[in-house]
Amino acid sequence: MPEYEPIVGMECHAELLTDSKMFCGCRNAFGGEPNTRCCPVCMGMPGALPVMNRKAVEHVIRTALALNCTINPHAKFDRKNYFYPDLPKGYQISQYDVPIGVGGWLDIEVNGFAKRIHIRRVHLEEDTGKLFHSPAGVRESFVDLNRSGVPLMEIVTEFPPDIRSADEAREYLVKLRAILTYIEVCDGKMEEGSLRCEPNVSVRFRGTDAFGTKTEIKNLNSFRSVQRGVEFECARQAELLEHGERVLQETRGWSEAKQATFSQRSKEEEQEYRYFPDPDLVPLHISEEWIDGVRAELPELPDARRARFETEYGLSPYDAALLTDTRDLSSYFEEAVKACGDAKFVSNWMMGDLTRLLNGAGKAIEQSPVKPAYLATMINRIVDGTISGKIAKSLLEEMFATGEQPDAIIETRGWKTIRDSGAIMSIVERVISENPTIVAEIREQGFTQKKGFLVGQVMKATQGKADPREVNRLIDEKIK
């Protein structure tokens, strides 16, 4: 319903890449035998005392700087109290009124239009454990505390919200994920839950100023579901308002199977959490020197890299955007270009055949069996005429399947281009004598597309290895 305007605020949680948990020495890694990576501190035993993880604090400072935030020189930790079986202490250590970073922004682009999305805060907290519920009918649930106490960063967009469509919500998340992975504070794996996002959605009649009641969507674990979830929720709310009904303030889950949101629970009020400063933790003093040190080490961020790819390698804005989507993708590209010198070739092969193979195998670029140096060598072999572009396609597939290097495969498979005119000529002669009707037609009508058939026959007879320019030349010569 175009007369209703979507309004979206994003709350994103990122598990931080640290060796140990936020307030204890337990290992921080995805998975593991349940309840093997926990101790009295992260199991919430009475009397156990938390100790801050410096690396986690630094990751949040780095993120806040990358998002153009101001750093609070004196941040503090607070207890957010609520009762749930995945939270053994009965409270989550979080940051309430003085988060580490405030007042930042990131830029997105949707349909060619640039837009700045303002960020209200970046704060540090701890993750909860995980619950596993038995199938319906079995009154049994399980708790795994391996995730309990894992450092978690929350990033919340500003109010009033800048995001005004599902596309923008998705783009915001794409850009945020790129930044977090570039600065190496989070692995960005939405499917493993290390990057989670809860859009807050409301709609209002276009032209009016007041914001409508919002709902918060949970359990979205891909870009696609974020987009779909926001679209669905806007449509649902517009429908309600259109029929004179009210939107209830609530938390809604996302059903991947039904592609629909459903009511989970009514939204708790802030006061129900009884926030208060955590008396077990000292206030966090962040010195100017510390901030400057982190700032000095910030790597090149996605927008800067994208702009550089356009100027340095002459890539189109579209290609540059795709190739800087993740840090790994952009490093792969640069490594391959350094080794073969042809940016356009590398970009085409990466975005075409290599992406197709990776998608088919469900692999990310960093897991590619075809190393950047191999792709570069393959391109060099096309350029120096050792193999044809067509053979290169098979070569890439073979490298992908075996992880072997290209020269070895070309050698064992006998994939070198045949440029020996004598060898090609004998095949040309055979093909011509086998196709007298076509040859006669070509002689009468001149060189029509019929010649393509003959070229094809010769290529087929050589398994695509004959140098096509030589084949064309010899066919012309023979027919004339």
Q: Which is nearer to ligand ADP, 179 or 424 (CB)?
A: 179
Question: With binding defined as CB under 6 A, does residue 156 bind ligand ADP?
Answer: yes
Question: With binding defined as CB under 5 A, does residue 145 bind Zn ion?
Answer: no
Binding ligand ADP by CB under 6 A: which of 29, 109, 189, 211? 211
Helices (H) and strands (E) in the chain, counts: 16, 16
Residue 235: Cβ-neighbour burial (10 angstroms; 0-12, 13-18, 19+): middle
Tokens encoding 403: 């992880």
**Residue 214, contacted partner among Zn ion, ligand ADP, none, CB below 5-8 A by kind:** ligand ADP
**Residue 11, contacted partner among ligand ADP, Zn ion, none, CB below 5-8 A by kind:** ligand ADP
Q: Which is nearer to ligand ADP, 211 or 290 (CB)?
A: 211
Question: With binding defined as CB under 6 A, does residue 227 bind ligand ADP?
Answer: no
CB of 195 to ligand ADP, least distance (A): 17
Strands 250-255 and 260-266: antiparallel
CA–CA distance, 52 with 416 (Å, rounded to integer): 61
**Residue 26, contacted partner among ligand ADP, Zn ion, none, CB below 5-8 A by kind:** Zn ion
CA–CA distance, 450 with 437 (Å, rounded to integer): 11
CA–CA distance, 216 with 205 (Å, rounded to integer): 20
Angle at 173 between CA 170 and CA 175, to 5 degrees: 110
CA–CA distance, 369 with 361 (Å, rounded to integer): 11
The window from 8-16, 93-101, 233-241, 315-323 that contacts ligand ADP (CB under 6 A) reads 8-16
Q: How many CA atoms lie within 13 A of 247 on its CB side?
A: 25
CB of 71 to ligand ADP, least distance (A): 20
Question: With binding defined as CB under 5 A, does residue 396 bind Zn ion?
Answer: no
Binding ligand ADP by CB under 6 A: which of 30, 84, 142, 159? 159
**Residue 156, contacted partner among Zn ion, ligand ADP, none, CB below 5-8 A by kind:** ligand ADP
Q: In 90-194, which ranges are E strands?
A: 91-94, 101-110, 113-126, 130-133, 141-144, 151-157
Question: With binding defined as CB under 6 A, does residue 157 bind ligand ADP?
Answer: yes
Q: In 113-246, which ranges are E strands?
A: 113-126, 130-133, 141-144, 151-157, 195-205, 215-218
Tokens encoding 49: 């005392």
CA–CA distance, 154 with 225 (Å, rounded to integer): 20
**Residue 161, contacted partner among Zn ion, ligand ADP, none, CB below 5-8 A by kind:** ligand ADP
Question: With binding defined as CB under 6 A, does residue 230 bind ligand ADP?
Answer: no
Please, which of residues 170-209 interact with ligand ADP by CB under 6 A? Answer: 200-202
Question: With binding defined as CB under 6 A, does residue 95 bind ligand ADP?
Answer: no
Asked whether 347 and 333 are in contact (CB, 8 A), the reply is yes
Please, which of residues 1-40 interact with Zn ion by CB under 5 A? Answer: 24, 26, 39
Q: What are phi and psi of 38, to 5 degrees?
A: -150, 160
Binding ligand ADP by CB under 6 A: which of 4, 5, 7, 470? 7
Question: With binding defined as CB under 6 A, does residue 104 bind ligand ADP?
Answer: no
Q: Which is nearer to Zn ion, 53 or 95 (CB)?
A: 53
Q: In 326-467, which ranges are E strands?
A: none
- Alpha carbon 22 to its chain centroid, in Å, reads 25
Strands 250-255 and 215-218: parallel
Question: With binding defined as CB under 6 A, does residue 9 bind ligand ADP?
Answer: yes
The window from 91-99, 156-164, 362-370, 376-384 that contacts ligand ADP (CB under 6 A) reads 156-164
Please, which of residues 456-475 interact with ligand ADP by CB under 6 A? Answer: none
Helix (H, G, I), strand (E, B) or coil at 213: coil
CB of 130 to Zn ion, least distance (A): 15
CA–CA distance, 150 with 420 (Å, rounded to integer): 65
The window from 1-9, 46-54, 126-134, 218-226 that contacts ligand ADP (CB under 6 A) reads 1-9
Tokens encoding 201: 């959605």
Question: With binding defined as CB under 6 A, does residue 161 bind ligand ADP?
Answer: yes
Interface contacts to ligand ADP, rule CB under 6 A? 7-11, 156-159, 161, 200-202, 211-212, 214, 270
Interface contacts to Zn ion, rule CB under 5 A? 24, 26, 39, 41-42
